[in-house]
Amino acid sequence: MHPTASVPGVVANGDTPAAPPGPLYQSPFRRHRTRVVVVGSVPIGGDHPIIVQSMTTPDTHDVAATVAQIRRLEEAGCELVRVTVPKPEDAHALTEIKKQITIPLIVDIHFDYKMALMALDHPIDKIRINPGNIGGMDRFRQVLRKAKDKGIPMRIGVNAGSLEREFAMKYGYPCPPAMVDSALRYIEIAESEGYHDLIVSLKSSDVATVVEAYRLYAKQANYPTHIGVTEAGKPPYAVIKSACGLAPILLDGIGDTIRISLLGDPVPEIQAAFDILQATQRRVRQPEIIACPTCGRLEIDLEGIIAQLEQRLQGRTTPIKVSVLGCVVNGPGEAKEADLGIAAGRGKGMIFKRGEMLRTVSEAEMVDALIEEIDRWEKEEMASGPALASPPGSSRRKLPLIGS
């Protein structure tokens, strides 16, 4: 590795200060502390929410098709969007595209540094450079200097599939240490130009490589990270593969912006990203419904109840766990672990709130009763703020909600 102790954006090791004394239950989660880089109006890193992004599929110079897809992405909740700029006509379209969208616009550059210089003449919000194919240090420095002059942040996108030959030969193959070594070199070059508006990605189509690369990077640098498993393939397998690669690092506290790369229409990438963030409790923005698997022990119409509950909760942003368990085997214990829960059997169920029993309701009353309790929960949380710890005497563990 390159010596990094004296580099402002790089730390000598992964140590973080001990957490201050906390409440009864202190979450083990500690986010990898990164500097903040602002993309358009969206801050990336620090304690800010993990931002979801995607990339368009039409030719960028087809402004109508590109804008139409970006608007669909915006409606799905996309917060940053990237377009590729391989040709001059694509660069010339950037100003018009920017006029017609509301989220920050990122340009993606491969091979031709002149396209980067050309794109920077337009009102873009970030530029992504792959150091492995941009054409050498001098060209990289030219792009850095112009980005600095324009006040535009940059993502250094290291990819296992296009790692510089030097690092591949040094380590024998595009392994995580080689990828991190590449990233650190380009960080040092950027800092030698007085440029610090950097975001870093270390992508691979191999899950284990992704996990190890980001963990290794987080021990040595504090620039925010864009995380993803590249070329994941076709859903649903690609979503599962992405979750396997990203959940470990998210649970480690690593990751400031995320993209789930799926074959085809990019709009489903947005929901997949938010689902992974929700499942890892790194960004919770809607109720989570927990239901037991269908088996012969069920004594209520669990599928029907869940369908009604999902419909009634559409559009709600309450960060709450609601469990509906349909038998007496695991139901009571699991219901106590949720924020709100029902342990049901033989056509009736007991409602639990924060582990405490409230009342018994019939099967026909369950959905209405849960909605009533969720409404009450929202009012209580607005008045007192979300509880990060279990109430005294409770065994339930609740992780903090990271971001809105």
CATH of the domain at 374: 3.30.413.10
Same domain? 343 vs 266: no
pLDDT of amino acid 16:
35
DSSP 8-state class, residue 198: E
Give the count of domains, the chain: 2
Rounded-to-integer distance, Cα 352 and Cα 12, Å = 48
- Residue % of the chain over a pLDDT of 90: 61
Both 258 and 139 in one domain: the answer is yes
Residues 228, 293, single domain; the answer is no
Band (pLDDT 50/70/90 cuts) for residue 42 is very high
Higher pLDDT, 132 or 306: 306
Q: Same domain, yes or no, for 298 and 340?
A: yes
Binned at pLDDT 50, 70 and 90, residue 156 comes out as: very high
Alpha carbon separation from 72 to 58, 123, 339, 341 (Å, rounded): 13, 21, 33, 35
8 Å CB contact between 211 and 6: no
Residues 196, 117, single domain; the answer is: yes
If you average pLDDT over residues 77-104, what whole number do you get?
97
106 in a domain, yes or no? Answer: yes
- pLDDT exceeds cutoff 80 at 331: no
pLDDT at residue 140 tops 60:
yes
**Could you tell me if 82 and 196 lie in one domain?**
yes
Domain boundary among 251, 279, 307: 279
Task: Give the residue numbers spanning the domain of 341.
Answer: 288-384
Instruction: Return mean pLDDT, the chain.
Output: 85
How far apart (Å, rounded) are the C-alpha atoms in residues 331 and 299? Answer: 11
Asked whether the predicted pLDDT for residue 54 surpasses 90, the reply is: yes
Tell which of 279, 311, 329 closes a domain. 279
| Count, residues in the chain | 404
pLDDT at position 329 is 57
Distance CA 250, CA 255 (A): 6
The answer to whether residue 241 sits within a structural domain is yes
Q: Is 396 among the domain residues?
A: no
Q: Is the pLDDT of residue 3 over 50?
A: no
Tell which of 258, 279, 300 closes a domain.
279
Q: For residue 30, tell me if it sits in a domain.
A: no
What is the predicted pLDDT for the residue at 382?
A: 78
Q: Does residue 27 form part of some domain?
A: no
Do 52 and 97 fall within a single domain? yes
* pLDDT greater than 50 at residue 325: yes
Q: State whether 161 and 265 are in the same domain.
A: yes
What pLDDT does residue 158 have? 94
What confidence score (pLDDT) does residue 89 get?
97
Residues 6+ apart with CB under 8 A from 348: 360, 361, 362, 363
Does any domain span residue 17?
no
Radius of gyration of the chain (CA): 24
Which CA distances in Å does 199 have to 43, 81, 162, 178? 11, 15, 18, 18
Mean pLDDT over 184-208 rounds to 96
Considering the domain architecture, whether residues 299 and 320 belong to the same structural domain is answered as: yes
Three-class SS of residue 88?
A: helix
| pLDDT at residue 38 in the model | 98
Q: Which two tokens stand for residue 207?
A: 């899950």
Query: Is residue 20, in this structure, part of any structural domain at all?
Result: no
pLDDT at 13: 37
Mark whether 109 and 227 lie in a shared domain. yes
- Give mean pLDDT, residues 293-317: 85
| Domain assignment of residue 104, yes or no | yes
Q: CA-CA distance, 354 to 397, in Å (whole number)?
A: 10
Q: Are residues 294 and 275 in the same domain?
A: no
Q: Any idea what the CATH number is for the domain that residue 190 is in?
A: 3.20.20.20
pLDDT at 291: 85
**Average pLDDT, stretch 137-156?**
96
Instruction: Give the model confidence (pLDDT) of 336-384 as tens digits.
Output: 677 888 888 788 888 988 888 899 999 999 999 999 999 998 888 777 7
| Same structural domain, 92 and 220 | yes
301 band by pLDDT with thresholds 50, 70 and 90: confident
